[in-house]
């Protein structure tokens, strides 16, 4: 499945979710933000953006799908198109229908991915030529995770998340995403975070070695997420859910981003029947929804 599809005069753009195979916090920076060292991987679960022509200038944003999203300037899709047009001297003229399949506040990067898809999609739809460095600059202004979604499906992200090193090694995986239906606030999770320098240095040395050895499967199995404690402090029900999942024998279970999604990387020999058994067991035993995804190839 490709990112772009053309339908008559319309353009469909897919915006993939991501998971954090690891997430380390390097400490607080002079600008007040926390430094990160995280490996992000795109997965094949998508929001959809449909671009259509309109007769009048302006940005008409419609949001549909199973999850709510705002329809005005507070939406990153609207802001991305507006920023792109202002930077290129273009007058926006489009209707965008955003189908929200990926819940917000879930640690899956859905709003950031939507913003990146809006930059890529509108520049293609309106035939605006923008260099990759310029797109990256605009993406970083919209949010720390947005630049990642413009690039390769797997990357080491540093700084605030905007400094990218693509990881070209092949790491194909299947993952079970467990969705607690809790909207976490990244801002509050970071406010609750208490830095542990020794923990960072220990985890960082282990992860760096495994990156060099091209063993990202071992990185994922570490479930190294330094935001986990602060997320669980704010939402103890997520910690309880993780314990319940592990009690069912589904291990290891990791937190993506600042939460709330938990994920389990599935071994290659795990059958489709076993995956569906996991899903039904989670629903029947813990009342929790889940989806099965694969690594994305773009």
pLDDT in tens, 207-219: 999 999 999 999 9
Alpha-carbon span 221 to 183, nearest angstrom: 25
- Position 94 pLDDT exceeds 70: yes
Section 239-255 average pLDDT: 96
Confidence of residue 269 (pLDDT cuts 50, 70, 90): low
Share of the chain above pLDDT 70, in %: 98
For the chain, the distance separating the N- and C-terminal CA atoms, rounded to the nearest angstrom, is: 9
Pairing of strands 58-64, 93-99: parallel
Residue 73's φ and ψ, nearest 5 degrees, are -60, -15
294 cis-preceded (ω within 30 degrees of 0): no
Section 81-104 average pLDDT: 97
Over residues 148-158, the pLDDT tens digits come to: 999 999 999 99
The pLDDT value given to residue 223? 98
Over residues 114-148, the pLDDT tens digits come to: 999 999 999 999 999 999 999 999 999 999 999 99
Has 273 been annotated as catalytic?
no
Ordered structural domains, the chain, with CATH: 4-166 (3.30.230.10), 174-294 (3.30.70.890)
pTM, entire model:
0.96
Say if CB 186 and CB 257 are below 8 A apart: yes
Tokens of 63: 């949001």
| Active-site option among 18, 42, 100, 242 | 18
Over residues 181-232, the pLDDT tens digits come to: 999 999 999 999 999 999 999 999 999 999 999 999 999 999 999 999 999 9
Tell which residue, 283, 226, 210, 232, has the closest CA to residue 25: 226
Q: What is the mean pLDDT of the chain?
A: 95
Sign of CA dihedral 68, 231, 158, 39: negative
Over residues 11-28, the pLDDT tens digits come to: 999 999 999 999 999 999
Tokens 């975070």: give the residue. Answer: 193
Alpha-carbon span 51 to 56, nearest angstrom: 14
The pLDDT value given to residue 273? 74
Tokens of 212: 């060099």
| CB-based burial, 82-109: b 16+ in 10 Å, e otherwise | ebbbeeeebebebebbbbbbbbbbbbbb
Query: Which H, E and C letters describe the chain, residue by residue?
Result: CCCEEEECCEEEEEEEEEEEEEEEEEEECCCCCEEEEEEEEEEEEEEEEEEECCCCCEEEEEEECCCCCCCCCCCHHHHHHHHHHHHHCCCCEEEEEEECCCCCCCCCCHHHHHHHHHHHHHHHHCCCCCCHHHHHHHHHHHCCCHHHHHCCCEEEEEECCCEEEECCCCCCCEEEEEECCCCCCHHHHHHHCCCCHHHHHHHHHHHHHHHHCCCHHHHHHHCCECCHHHHHHHCHHHHHHHHHHHHCCCCCCEECCCCCCEEEEECCCCCHHHHHHHHHHHHHHHCCEEEEEEECCC
Say if CB 189 and CB 227 are below 8 A apart: yes
Has 283 been annotated as catalytic?
no
| Active-site option among 42, 114, 145, 242 | 145
- Position 275 pLDDT exceeds 90: no
- Position 268 pLDDT exceeds 80: no
- Position 274 pLDDT exceeds 80: no
The pLDDT value given to residue 170? 86
Confidence of residue 255 (pLDDT cuts 50, 70, 90): very high
Share of the chain above pLDDT 90, in %: 93
Over residues 278-287, the pLDDT tens digits come to: 999 999 999 9
């Amino acid at each position: 499945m490709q990112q772009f599809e053309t339908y008559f005069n319309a353009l469909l753009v897919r915006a993939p979710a991501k998971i954090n195979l690891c997430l380390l916090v390097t400490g607080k920076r002079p600008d007040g933000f926390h430094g990160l060292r995280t490996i992000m991987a795109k997965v094949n679960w998508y929001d959809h953006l449909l671009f259509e022509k309109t007769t009048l200038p302006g940005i008409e944003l419609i949001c549909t799908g199973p999850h709510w999203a705002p329809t005005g300037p507070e939406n990153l899709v609207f802001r991305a198109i507006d920023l792109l047009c202002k930077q290129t001297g273009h007058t926006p003229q489009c209707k965008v229908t955003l189908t929200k399949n990926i819940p917000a506040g879930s640690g899956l990067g859905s709003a950031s991915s939507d913003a990146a898809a809006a930059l890529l999609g509108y520049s293609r739809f309106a035939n605006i030529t923008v260099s990759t460095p310029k797109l990256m600059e605009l993406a970083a202004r919209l949010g720390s995770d947005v630049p990642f979604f413009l690039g390769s499906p797997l990357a080491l992200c540093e700084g605030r998340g905007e400094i990218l090193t693509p990881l070209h090694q092949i790491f194909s995986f299947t993952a079970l995403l467990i969705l607690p239906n809790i909207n976490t606030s990244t801002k509050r999770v970071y406010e609750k975070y208490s830095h542990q320098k020794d923990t960072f240095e220990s985890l960082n040395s282990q992860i760096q070695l495994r990156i060099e050895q091209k063993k990202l499967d071992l990185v994922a199995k570490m479930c190294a997420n330094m935001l986990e404690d602060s997320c669980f402090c704010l939402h103890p029900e997520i910690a309880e859910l993780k314990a319940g999942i592990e009690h069912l024998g589904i291990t290891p279970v990791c937190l993506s981003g600042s939460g709330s999604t938990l994920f389990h990387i599935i071994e290659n020999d795990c059958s489709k029947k076993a995956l569906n058994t996991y899903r039904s067991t989670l629903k029947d035993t813990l009342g929790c929804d889940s989806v099965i995804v694969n690594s994305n190839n773009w």
